[in-house]
Amino acid sequence: MRPADLNRLTVQESADRYVELIRAKTLTGALSTATAEVYARDVATFVLLAGEEKVLDDLTGEDVDAILLAFARKPDGRRAEPDGGLQSASSQARFRRSISALFKHATLTGWVQINPMALATVTAKERGGLRPERRALTREQAQGLIGAARDLSDGQGQGAIRGAPAEADPASGSVSGSVSVSGAGRSRRRDQRTEVRDALIVLLLSTMGPRVSELVRANVEDFYTNDGVRYWRIFGKGGKTRDVPLPDDVARVLEVYLARGRDQSPDKALLLSWRGKRLARGDVQAVIDRVQRQVDPDRRRSVTPHGLRHTTATHLLADAVDMDAVRRVLGHSDLATLGRYRDELPGELEVAMRAHPLLRRPSGDR
C-alpha cells in the first residue's frame, strides 16, 4: 500500500518541478548556470523517452534500463557523422547522473516510494561498450592528428612569416602552397580562414589535455612568457589555477596565431569564431573532426576533446613522466583521479617485459 503522503505526479509534472528547483539553485550559487542547463536538457530528454503522461512512481528498474539504452542509441546531433553518431560514453554517464539526481530528489520529496535507479541492471558495457570515443589515441593516431595540425599551421602561418607567395585557384577561390593569412584574406571569406586557430586548438588539447571548458574560457592575457618560456595560466574547476609551460612547437603556433591568425576583436577571448565572438564548447568537436579529415585514414580515429585529455595523460605516463607532474598538468587534485585517465595502449606490456629492470645485466657483465 502506498503511503498517504505519496504525491503521484506525472513524469512531466515532476520534471517541471525539479528543473524549476535546480534553476533556482543558480541564484544562490549552489549550481552554475551551465550545469543547471545541462541537468534541464537531460531531464527534458528523460521526459521524451519515459513518456510525459506516465506517473513517475510507476516507473520500474526495467523502465530505467530501457530509457538508458534508448538514450545510448539516440543520435548525437553534435557529431559530424552523417547519422549524427551515437551518444558517447561520457554523454551516457552524464545522462545517468542527471536522472539519478532527479530520482534521488523524488524519493526525498515523496514523488516515488522506491528509487528505481537502485533496481536498474544495465551494465557499463551495454551502455557504452569500450568507450572508443573517450579512449586515448594510440601514438600513431595522435601523431597523425598532430601532424595534420602542424601542416595547417605551417601552410597558413609559416608561409606568412617567410613571405612565401600564394597561388590562388580561380575556380574555387582557395589558396595553395605556402599561404600567408593576409594573402588568404583577399581570396577567402573570413569564415574560411580558421586554419591556424584550428591547429592551435588541436595542439593544445593533444599535448596539454585541458578540459574543454578551460580551453574556451582562455583569454589572450592568460598566456605569458617567463625567462624565455611560454606559460598558460589555466583557470580550472573550483576556482583553482595552474601555470603550465607550453611545448615549444605549441608555443610557436600560438605566436603565429596571435600575430596572423586571430582577427582584431574587442573580445579578450583567445579563441574566436569567424564572427569574432568567443568560441563555444560545442564548436570544439567540429574543429577536431575537421582536422581529422586531413589525417591518413589508416591513422584516423574519431575522438572527443575529453578523449584528447585521456591521450595527454596516457602518453605522458607511458613515457615515464612523473605522475605528480602529469597530475599538475591536467589539474587534478589527487593522484587517484589521474588513474582513471591512464588508458591501455596496444603493445605496451610487451615493451615493458622486454625491458624488465630485473633482467638487465650489470654494466660490467658480458
Which of these is catalytic: 127, 193, 211, 242?
Answer: 211
**Sign of torsion over alpha carbons 314, 90, 28, 116:** negative
* 224 counts as catalytic: no
Are the beta carbons of 77 and 84 closer than 8 angstroms? yes
Which of these is catalytic: 135, 193, 252, 309?
Answer: 309
Considering all CA atoms of the chain, what is the largest pairwise distance in Å, rounded to the nearest integer? 85
Measured in whole angstroms, how far is the alpha carbon of residue 154 from the centre of its chain? 25
CA distance 7 to 2: 10
* 309 counts as catalytic: yes
Are the beta carbons of 82 and 106 closer than 8 angstroms? no
Grid coordinates belonging to 43: 531531464
Ranges of beta strands (E only) in 236-349 are 241-245
Contacts with 33 (C-beta within 8 Å, 6 or more apart), sequence order: 26
CA distance 14 to 9: 6
Are the beta carbons of 119 and 60 closer than 8 angstroms? yes
- Which value, in Å, is the radius of gyration of the alpha carbons in the chain? 24
Measured in whole angstroms, how far is the alpha carbon of residue 149 from the centre of its chain? 17
* 332 counts as catalytic: yes
CA distance 120 to 218: 40
Which of these is catalytic: 197, 306, 310, 327?
Answer: 306
* 277 counts as catalytic: no
Which of these is catalytic: 189, 190, 237, 268?
Answer: 237
**Sign of torsion over alpha carbons 210, 214, 219, 225:** negative
* 341 counts as catalytic: yes
**Sign of torsion over alpha carbons 186, 191, 194, 197:** positive
For helices 89-109 and 11-28, angle between their N-to-C axes, nearest 10 degrees: 100
314 phi-psi bin (left φ>0, alpha ψ -120 to 50, beta other): alpha
Name residue, grid cell 553518431.
Answer: 85
The catalytic site residues sit at 211, 237, 306, 309, 332, 341
